[in-house]
Every structure is written in structure tokens, then in C-alpha cells.
Amino acid sequence: MASLIACPHCGPRPKEEFTVRGDAGITRPEPDAGADAWHAYVYLRDNPRGRHREHWHHTSGCRRWLIVERDTVTHAIYSAVDAAATGETA
């Protein structure tokens, strides 16, 4: 059923409004970073037990991408911040 995600813009909202993308701990490599770095970025993902930072999109809400830190075992949500606040700069 339902759990709630506290969107920093909208407040606690049901998780059905959100879309999960996956690991937020990876950083997009530089264009010339080489095949291994790009392979890792595109294909390799950790599947940790416990705390995990993920990109979640508030698709049916403010449409902001968030970084949600949650526990993959207990499903507890520790934090949710706007991805732009922590993301790479252009």
C-alpha cells in the first residue's frame, strides 16, 4: 500500500505520485572519461541493504527531481531534497 514521501516543495505526499529512477550516487562522467567510466555509469548499480540515495521524480506533483534517502530494508525515509540543490553544475 502506501507510504509517504515528504517532498521539500509539496510536503508529505503518497508515494504513488512519485516515480523512482534509481541510484543517485552516480555522477555522469566527462565525455572523454573513457569506456570503463561510462560503462559503470550506464550499467553498473549497487543494490545496498540499508541506506540508499535515489532519484525520485514528483511526477504527479511539482515535477521536481528529488534525492530521497531511504532504507531498503525498513523502507524508512531519512530525507528528501531537491536534486538541483546537490547536482552537478553546468
* Least separation in angstroms between CB 22 and another protein: 11
Q: Which residues in this chain contact another protein in the complex, by CB under 8 A? A: 1-4, 12, 14-15, 19, 21, 24, 28-31, 33, 35, 38, 41-42, 55, 57, 59, 63-65, 74-77, 82-85, 87-90
Measured distance between the N- and C-terminal CA atoms of the chain, rounded to whole angstroms = 39
Residue 38 or 82 having the CB closest to Zn ion? 82
Residue 4, C-beta contacts closer than 8 angstroms, at least 6 positions apart: 12, 13, 14, 15, 77
Residue spans of beta strands (DSSP E) within 37-87: 51-57, 65-71, 77-82
Size of the site for Zn ion (CB under 5 A): 6
Of residues 29 through 88, those in contact with Zn ion by CB under 5 A are 58, 61-62
8-state DSSP, 30: P
